[in-house]
Amino acid sequence: MSETWTIKYVIYREKKGQEPKFEEFSLEMRPEEYVLDGVEKIWAYHDRSLTFQHACHHSTCGACGMLVNGVEKLTCITKIKDVTENGGVVRIEPMRNFPVVSDLVVDMSTFFSRMETAKARQVVSLSESPTDSGIKREPNAADDLYRLSDCIECGLCISACPITATNPEYLGPAILAAVQLNGLDRFPELLSWVDNADGVWRCHSAFECTEVCPSNVEPAWRIMDLRKQVVSRRVKNLFGMK
């Protein structure tokens, strides 16, 4: 028999027109189970009015980002044993910096709209994809293999970003990282969108985004690199170069 822990889930609840509150649920969980499993169990067995976002349960869709004990986590790949202990607490809140729709569900429409404006691609050729060492492969004309991109648009970087918290107009880490990945040389029309006070220059290098990213995007250094791209693009524009 595998070991079972008793866990207290403390869940943020908010319904239209009502004051937000926290509710507690006691669950029996295996330490190897994932945080999302517990949230789903609460819905299945304890409270059918609980709403939360989830789909793939293995970190490809990015739907289930939440605050777990105060830290941004993709709950489908966060094991119980990594955030609490037997008899311990798992506190679940919706992501920060997004309007709450209901309980743990947030409105991500502005974020997705910006990702679309950024021309973020979901399917990228393997030669353009970062490797596990974080470096892009050399472009190889014969390479016709593709993969889904690293960014799963979970929004955790936006939730963790201290700049977004004070200025919602700031484009945000995932968006700027997407522009950096494509490169301004590929989409020079995005220069003015990122080269302003709410764009690449707003970042204060807190690196919280990279800290919480569950999917190898590492937005922080990409924002620094995008600044270089911006300067280089400005110079190219000055001399009418492509």
**CB burial class (10 A; 0-12, 13-18, 19+) of residue 92?**
buried
Q: Report the residue number, 51 or 69, with the smaller CB distance to other proteins.
A: 51
- To which residue do tokens 């239209």 refer? 16
Q: Which two tokens stand for residue 194?
A: 């990122």
DSSP 3-state of 7: strand
Q: Which of 7, 83, 92, 115 binds other proteins (CB under 8 A)?
A: 115
Applying CB under 8 A, among 101, 165, 206, 224 the residue interacting with other proteins is 101
Q: Are 220 and 209 in contact (CB under 8 A)?
A: yes
Q: Counting contacts by CB under 8 A, is residue 49 touching other proteins? A: yes
Interface with other proteins includes 215 (CB under 8 A)? Answer: yes
Binding other proteins (rule: CB under 8 A), the pick from 20, 21, 137, 148 is: 148
Question: Judged by CB under 8 A, which stretch of 28-36, 89-97, 201-209, 219-227 contacts other proteins?
Answer: 28-36
Angle at 111 between CA 110 and CA 115, to 5 degrees: 115
Residues 180-209 that bind other proteins (CB under 8 A): none
- Judged by DSSP in three states, 27 sits in strand
Instruction: Identify the CA nearest to 75 among candidates 98, 92, 87, 51.
Output: 92
Residues in touch with other proteins (CB under 8 A): 2, 15-17, 30, 32-34, 37, 40-41, 43-45, 48-63, 76-77, 101-102, 105, 108-109, 112-113, 115-116, 122-123, 126, 132, 145-150, 152, 215-216
